[in-house]
A and B are shown apart, each in its own frame.
Chain A
Amino acid sequence: MYNMNISKSLQKLARSVRFQNLFFACKELHGLKLFENTSDLSYIQQQFLTHLYNFETISKDIITEKISKRVLEDEIMWNSYFLWKQNKKEDKTKKNSNKRQDVKLVMGKTINFPKVEDK
């Protein structure tokens, strides 16, 4: 039932420089608000916030990670990119938690715990 035109307009607004700047400013400055209400967000407001956050992340990644600008093309593109990014992050976290790390209890002194082989 979620009207496609409204969904597209919502994405367009969230991508706009004006709303991206406002979103950034709201995080930095107290008292600046995106919506009249600060709690009890409606369904559409929650959707809008998700879009704002997603487009902010994508814009950063286009500049810093040099990903293809085509990611902004449509929902399939950015959803796929986020899915891949999320899974990559989870893989990395898993790998890091599997690594046994030596702990420095005193500055300059490293205690080498005996390595236990994983089964």
Chain B
Amino acid sequence: MDTRLEEAQKIAKEYEEQNQLAQVEDFIKDNKVKFTVDSKNYRIRLLNLSEKNELDTLRRKKFGQLLQDKDILLEKDLVKQYKERGVDISELDDSMKKIEAEMFNLQMKLGESIAKNEGNTVVDTYKKQVEELITEKNTIFTQKSMLLEYSLENQLLSYVYQIITYLSLEQSVEDSWERMFTTFEKFEKATEEQEKVINTAAQYTVLLQNV
């Protein structure tokens, strides 16, 4: 590849990294994540006390609704149904526990070899083994998450993230910020353009709130 092109790509990457650092620094300071979609400015912020109360009320209401819906099962009932169909989720849990125990032992060895400055070969060997176990654990975790995706608990969690996004999403109007959606009904009926904003905002929602 052309050296100048390589150099340009390197500079662009560094610039992007610096940009990301500045953005993260900015939002840890005041808990406000600013972003732009189609040249318009938006932000997500930490909920205040009254918004947290509103979130809690909506969450409880939704929980009651979900409980009455016979098509939506609690995680424990879903696990039971899977077992009847030959899919044993407890086996996945056992496998994860086994991997965790193995990982603990390896991490202890790796930690000791770092503390005792045992040299790159030893450190690299343990590190590689830990990495392999992490991948293995993540695969099983994803498998379990996919199986339980439609449980009542997960449906509720996904609803909670939607509510937080609805409550904390603001748009810049002249020199001030105002809520993008005044009601949850309007949020649910968002246009395609508004959905673009919601999707970007949703990525940040989880960073700020302790759900």
A interface with B by C-beta (< 8 Å) = 1-3, 5-6, 9-10, 12-13, 35-37, 40, 42-46, 48, 61, 65-68, 70-71, 76-77, 79-85, 87
How many of chain B's residues touch chain A, expressed as a range?
A: 35 or more
B interface with A by C-beta (< 8 Å) = 17, 20-21, 23-25, 27-31, 46, 104, 106-108, 110-112, 114-115, 117-118, 120, 123, 126-127, 130-131, 134, 203, 206-210
Q: Could you tell me if B114 and A70 are in contact, using CB atoms closer than 8 angstroms?
A: yes
Given the known interface contacts A1-B206, A42-B46, A85-B111, the answer about A12 and B29 at a Cβ–Cβ threshold of 8 Å is no
Task: For B111, give its contact among A37, A42, A44, A80 (CB under 8 Å).
Answer: A80
Instruction: Give B210 Cβ to nearest chain A Cβ, in Å.
Output: 5
Instruction: Give A11 Cβ to nearest chain B Cβ, in Å.
Output: 10
- Which of chain A's residues has its CB closest to B27's CB? A44
Q: Could you tell me if B209 and A43 are in contact, using CB atoms closer than 8 angstroms?
A: yes
Q: Could you tell me if B115 and A81 are in contact, using CB atoms closer than 8 angstroms?
A: yes
CA distance A60 to B168 in the complex (A): 40
- Which of chain A's residues has its CB closest to B23's CB? A9
CA distance A92 to B127 in the complex (A): 26
> CB-CB < 8 A to B29: which residues of A?
35-36
Instruction: Give B128 Cβ to nearest chain A Cβ, in Å.
Output: 10
